[in-house]
Amino acid sequence: MQKRDIKNFTLNELQEEVKDIGAEKYRAVQLFDFLYKKGMEDFKDMLSLPSSFRDLLQKYFYISKIGLENLVKSKDQTEKYLFKLEDGNLIESVLIFSIKRVTECISSQIGCKYNCLFCESGKKGFTRDLTVSEILNQVLFVKKRIGSILNNIVFMGIGEPLDNYGNVAKAICILNSKDAFNIGARRITISTCGVIPAIKRLQERGWQIELSVSLHAPENKLRSYLMPVNNIYPLPDLIETCKNYAEKTKRQITFEYILIKGVNDSLNYADKLAKLIGGFNSKVNLITFNPAPDSVLQAPGISQVKSFKSKLAARGIPTTIRISKGDDISAACGQLKNLYLK
């Protein structure tokens, strides 16, 4: 019988698993403690468990690991991790230090199906979804390195998290569990390109997690050019879904808007954006495009970014400008992997 990766199970599932091999359900809570609070990587080291139970665990399960292939550090302290999975695939995580929080940006897939024009991850196509354990191992690795100051998780790395809804949802359960990582739901953000059915599923769960939606254009035609996913889930339907989400969950939605010089950064688009999202609980996060070395797209100047922000603010839209971190280490998603594979 093939051993299974024990970090693929939520607490409820693990309780059933340990029951199935003849142990008491409460052993699952102990296992969570060993795996996620203590970061143990071998059943043999879990000495407070009966040796007969450890033997059973050894027989039916294994504890997966993630390998560090490369780590680069930016002048601004941002750290970029290139991880090697057990099947040899590479994924990235980015660790960002700010005054209020320490955030790890994690990947949810190997590659991505959606091929957004401005994104390095989309250019290599899609390989597969990450498993629950591969998602969690990114966090475990960094937590071991820097300890409990890691207090914020964003699903904003490689892949579209809502395209891997099942595994991402389970990973969130474990990240949020007080018996595991104990990271508050409001400190976990899902960033999506707008997979409408999965946003609706998230809404039904009633979680307090943050939802961040990549908009990048206030009209259908331009958005379809920048983000082909818009042909499947068009802008009007997406905005309607976001509006419902904000109303039902009472959470503020963040709309991400990457400003690309001469493409979507005119003040006319700021007006259209304000009109599109005004009237429900949302805000805009403006991001200056961070070009990869071979990108034909360019970043606008800071004065244009500020004018865009002022225009939105004048129309009553709460707006922030995200400070780009780690420019000197190719910290935009997919860039390090692409450099490494060249």
Min separation Cβ 122 and ligand SF4, Å? 3
Separation between Cα atoms, residue 236 and residue 177, nearest integer Å: 36
**Toward ligand SF4, which CB reaches closer, 122 or 300?**
122
Q: Which amino acid is it at 236? A: P
As a whole number of Å, the CA-based R_g of the chain is 21
Looking at the Cβ atoms of 127 and 281, the one nearer to ligand SF4 is 127
> To the nearest whole angstrom, how small is the minimum distance from the Cβ of residue 322 to ligand SF4?
15
Please state the closest distance from residue 263 (CB atom) to ligand SF4, in A. Answer: 15
Give backbone dihedrals phi and psi of 312, rounded to 5 degrees, phi first.
-65, -45
Integer Cα distance of 41 and 45 in angstroms: 8
The residue nearest ligand SF4 at its CB is: 122
Beta strands in the chain (DSSP E): 4-5, 61-62, 67-73, 79-84, 90-97, 102-105, 109-111, 126-129, 152-155, 188-192, 210-214, 253-259, 282-288, 319-322
Minimum distance between the CB of residue 57 and ligand SF4, rounded to whole angstroms? Answer: 36
What residue numbers does the annotated binding site cover? 112, 116, 119, 159-160, 191, 214-216, 290
| Residues 290-309 contacting ligand SF4, CB under 6 A | none
Restricting to residues 132-171, name those near ligand SF4 by CB under 6 A: 159-160
Q: Which residues are annotated as a binding site for [4Fe-4S] cluster?
A: 112, 116, 119
Q: In whole angstroms, give the CA distance from residue 321 to residue 271.
A: 17
Q: Name which of 119 and 175 has its Cβ closer to ligand SF4.
A: 119
Under 8 Å between Cβ of 65 and 212: no
Binding site residue list for S-adenosyl-L-methionine? 159-160, 191, 214-216, 290
How many residues touch ligand SF4 under the rule CB under 6 A: the total is 10
Q: Are 291 and 299 in contact (CB under 8 A)?
A: yes
Q: Which residues of 192-218 are buried (b: 16+ CB within 10 A; e: fewer)?
A: bbbbbebbeebbeeebebbbbbbbbbb
Contact (Cβ atoms closer than 8 angstroms) between residue 196 and residue 235: no
Which residue is catalytic, options 92, 120, 134, 210?
A: 92
Interaction mask 189-208, ligand SF4, x per CB under 6 A: ----x---------------
- Smallest CA-to-CA distance from 226 within 212, 238, 216, 213 is with 216
Catalytic annotation present for 120: no
- As given in the structure block, the two tokens for residue 154 are 């964003």
Site for ligand SF4 in 78-137 (CB under 6 A): 112, 114-116, 119, 121-122
Smallest distance from ligand SF4 to CB 332, Å: 10
How far apart, in whole angstroms, are the C-alpha atoms of residue 245 and residue 36?
31
> Does 333 participate in catalysis according to the annotation?
yes
For ligand SF4, the closer CB: 4 or 124: 124
The active-site residue, picked from 105, 173, 193, 333, is: 333
**Closest CB to ligand SF4 among residues 54, 124:** 124
**Active site amino acids:** 92, 333
Which residues of the shown chain bind ligand SF4 in the complex (CB under 6 A)?
112, 114-116, 119, 121-122, 159-160, 193
